[in-house]
Amino acid sequence: MNFHHLLVERPLPLTLITLNRPEKLNAMTHETRKELLCALEAAREDAECRVIILTGAGDKAFSAGADIEVLSRFSPEDALSSANMAYALCDLIEKLGKPIIAAINGFCLGGGCELALACTFRLASDRAEFGQPEINLGMMTGSGGSQRLPRLIGKGPALELLLTGKRISAAEALRLGLVNQVVSPETLLPTADRVAREIANKSPVAVRMTLDAVNRGLETSTEEGLQIEGRNYSRLYATEDLREGCAAYFEKRPPRFQGR
């Protein structure tokens, strides 16, 4: 489809998706979420795509959140409908079966921060700022932030951000475990590309099984999580990729994984 709020590029084996409303600080809208759902579903079905990078156009923002003018006119029914669409998008990101790396440049606030939280992990420019400022408007998170943020950085630090609405620097986000790396603005996308290609060289089946074990395991007990891991681990022994990986090890050459 033709996108109005996104740029989608395919530097295979990667897909680069860029939120493309820099004049609005890449604010999230219904249309943006709808386009993201379509782009991500296409990437999921693209056998040549192994890793996705999600970023924002310009140097000011990954996404500064939602359009407050629109939110201010919501009825309770509108708000629930908007939240349900945001939940569907973030759930798709989290459970796509392919890693999604958020490359965060500038503001990463509100719904934009919640979008990044759903990604596999996050790389940030040293100019990035993070926050959940909804409380300052008498609102709260509506894209999963109250659930994902505590799971990522712990209940206390998460509640401090959620209840004060304060912004934090990239360095503080790194200290809290909100982001995995902080780099200079000019090296953000090259770093994301390098990390993405490193993962893309692994077995797509093993990557998918690992993502599944971690995501589902976090939703259950350790005992049940171990059962999930055991099932996924054993399934890999029926794959061509595992045989190729072992053969490459013994032959002292790089493996050529085919995702089978």
* φ, ψ (nearest 5 deg) of residue 223: -60, -50
User: Coil, strand or helix: which one is 152?
Assistant: helix
Same domain, 196 and 208: no
Q: Write out pLDDT tens, residues 12-49.
A: 999 999 999 999 999 999 999 999 999 999 999 999 99
Same domain, 74 and 170: yes
Catalytic residue among 114, 160, 186, 223: 114
What is the strand order of the sheet 14-19 is part of?
6-9, 14-19, 51-56, 100-104, 121-125, 181-183
* Residue 114 annotated among the catalytic residues of the structure: yes
Tell me if 260 is assigned to some domain: no
**Pick from 172, 200, 228: which residue ends a domain?**
200
| Domain coverage including residue 126 | 6-200
Same domain, 217 and 176: no
Q: Write out pLDDT tens, residues 131-184.
A: 999 999 999 999 999 999 999 999 999 999 999 999 999 999 999 999 999 999
Q: Write out pLDDT tens, residues 69-128.
A: 888 899 999 999 999 999 999 999 999 999 999 999 999 999 999 999 999 999 999 999
**Pick from 157, 183, 200: which residue ends a domain?**
200
CB atoms within 10 A of CB 202: 17
Same domain, 56 and 182: yes
Catalytic residue among 134, 223, 240, 244: 134
Same domain, 23 and 87: yes
Question: Which CATH number belongs to the domain containing residue 227 in this structure?
Answer: 1.10.12
Question: Which CATH number belongs to the domain containing residue 190 in this structure?
Answer: 3.90.226.10
Q: Look at the chain and report how many structural domains it folds into.
A: 2
Question: Strand pairing partners for 18?
Answer: 7, 55
* Residue 134 annotated among the catalytic residues of the structure: yes
